[in-house]
Amino acid sequence: MAANTVGHKQTDHLRTMGLVETAADFAIHNLAPGGNFIAKVLAGGTDTDLLALLKQHFTTVKHAKPPASRKDSSEWYVIAQGLQG
């Protein structure tokens, strides 16, 4: 999934985070215990709420910015492993 971007940083962040939070909720309610969730996130303020949600439901939550990502890009990835049953 990807939100339509408009070039306005805050709007793009909120649209992306809305989709990621929906996907995280779906994963929490539908993955088998031990399942994993990965998403591309745009930094911008509400990403800490997402991390807190994932930490409540997964045993390990990490975030990473791949070397291939531009340094000025606000994108990063969240990796949540081990859905708690």
Model pLDDT for residues 28-80, shown as the tens digit of each residue:
999 999 999 999 887 777 778 889 999 999 999 998 888 888 887 778 899 99
| CA nearest neighbour of 80 among 48, 38, 46, 52 | 38
Whole-structure pTM value? 0.83
Enclosing H/E stretch for 42: strand 37-42
Could you give the residue numbers annotated as active site? Answer: 40
**What is the CB-side half-sphere exposure of residue 38 using CA atoms within 13 A?**
3
Q: Give the residue extent of every domain in the chain.
A: 9-83
CATH of domain 9-83: 3.40.50.150
- Rounded to the nearest 10 degrees, how much is the dihedral formed by the CA atoms of 70, 74, 22, 62? 80
